[in-house]
């Protein structure tokens, strides 16, 4: 199994929303905000090559949204998803599967594109797109708090094209493919999916928005976007305890600098970052 980090560029989100109840005085040194209190975040996806399959995990923001939308989130940077794939000599037609951790716009926006006629179509024409029915129903009938995170043009065309399939939701983690486990969590949004990769001598966890950055390892750092912040804290605590116990590695989707990290329990009993790595350094 080969894993490659896919950088799709950066965007901006309000610092208070990303760091939750943690005072700005504490987090502003980590990720300094601009004059509008916006901080820069990555949209880092993952390419899995295993057997005959080329699997993409999440797709970033995409480029089909209009200027009004883009002005709110200021996407920027020289990298994009298709160029990142090209660096690995992978063409969009070669992608066999697209695994969407959840359907917030910054995770699935690149799943659908506008074709030459301006019609919405799957970006990866030969791929099966994976979600789960519990989260799908949640996204199709969103609560007022998440309504503007679920943009139906990002995912409804997948169902209309007949390329969408669901992973059965269970309480425990389930094996999706050999060496790849899916874990369901509920703090950030309903039935978000994390991925655990068994790489033989190590295990890597794709944290999605449960732990969006290395700064969010600290327990009080919970995003204001999360619909159930106390559930996030429980889920994060359990994951971090298992990570320390089993020496797992964590992969961060939104950290603007850190791709992967190892955590340890310090002398005060807190779980903290021990060392950061690029994915290429640890795989």
Q: Give 189-225 pLDDT, tens digit per residue.
A: 999 999 999 998 899 999 999 999 999 999 999 999 9
pLDDT at 116: 85
- Over its C-alpha atoms, the chain yields an Rg (Å, rounded) of 18
Rounded Cα gap, residues 255 and 245, in angstroms: 24
Beta-sheet strand order (sheet of 38-50): 2-14, 38-50, 53-57, 97-99, 128-131, 164-166
* Confidence class for position 282, pLDDT limits 50, 70, 90: confident
Rounded Cα gap, residues 151 and 12, in angstroms: 18
| Cβ(229)–Cβ(188) below 8 Å | no
CA 118 vs. chain centroid, Å, equals: 27
Rounded Cα gap, residues 29 and 275, in angstroms: 19
pLDDT at 228: 98
CA 11 vs. chain centroid, Å, equals: 14
* Confidence class for position 259, pLDDT limits 50, 70, 90: very high
User: Rounded mean pLDDT of 128-142?
Assistant: 98
Domains defined for the chain, CATH in brackets: 2-282 (3.60.15.10)
Name the percent of the chain lying above pLDDT 90.
Answer: 97
Q: In degrees, to the nearest 5, what angle opens at C-alpha 166 toward C-alphas 160 and 167?
A: 165
Burial class (CB in 10 A: 0-12, 13-18, 19+), 71: exposed
Looking at every residue in the chain, the average pLDDT score rounds to 96
């Amino acid at each position: 199994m080969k894993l490659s980090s896919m950088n799709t560029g950066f965007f901006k989100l309000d610092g208070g929303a990303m760091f939750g109840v943690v005072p700005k005085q504490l987090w502003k040194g980590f990720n300094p905000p601009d004059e509008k209190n916006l901080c820069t975040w990555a949209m880092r996806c993952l390419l899995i090559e295993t057997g005959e399959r080329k699997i993409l995990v999440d797709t970033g923001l995409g480029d089909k949204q209009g200027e009004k939308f883009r002005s709110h989130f200021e996407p920027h940077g020289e990298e994009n998803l298709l160029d990142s794939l090209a660096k690995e000599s992978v063409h969009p037609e070669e992608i066999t599967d697209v695994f969407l951790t959840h359907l917030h716009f910054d995770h699935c926006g690149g799943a659908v594109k506008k074709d030459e006629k301006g019609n919405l179509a799957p970006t990866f024409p030969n791929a099966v797109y994976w979600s789960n029915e519990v989260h799908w129903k949640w996204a199709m009938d969103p609560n007022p708090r998440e309504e503007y995170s679920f943009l139906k043009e990002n995912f409804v065309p997948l169902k209309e094209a007949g390329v969408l399939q669901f992973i059965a939701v269970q309480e425990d983690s389930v094996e999706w493919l050999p060496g790849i486990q899916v874990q369901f969590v509920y703090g950030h949004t309903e039935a978000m999916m994390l991925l655990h990769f068994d790489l033989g001598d190590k295990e890597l966890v794709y944290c999605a928005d449960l732990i969006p950055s290395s700064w969010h390892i600290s327990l009080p750092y919970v995003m204001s976007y999360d619909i159930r912040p106390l559930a996030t804290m429980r889920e994060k605590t359990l994951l971090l305890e298992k990570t320390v116990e089993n020496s797992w590695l964590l992969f961060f989707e939104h950290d603007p600098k850190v791709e992967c990290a190892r955590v340890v329990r310090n002398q005060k009993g807190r779980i903290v970052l021990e060392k950061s790595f690029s994915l290429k350094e640890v795989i």
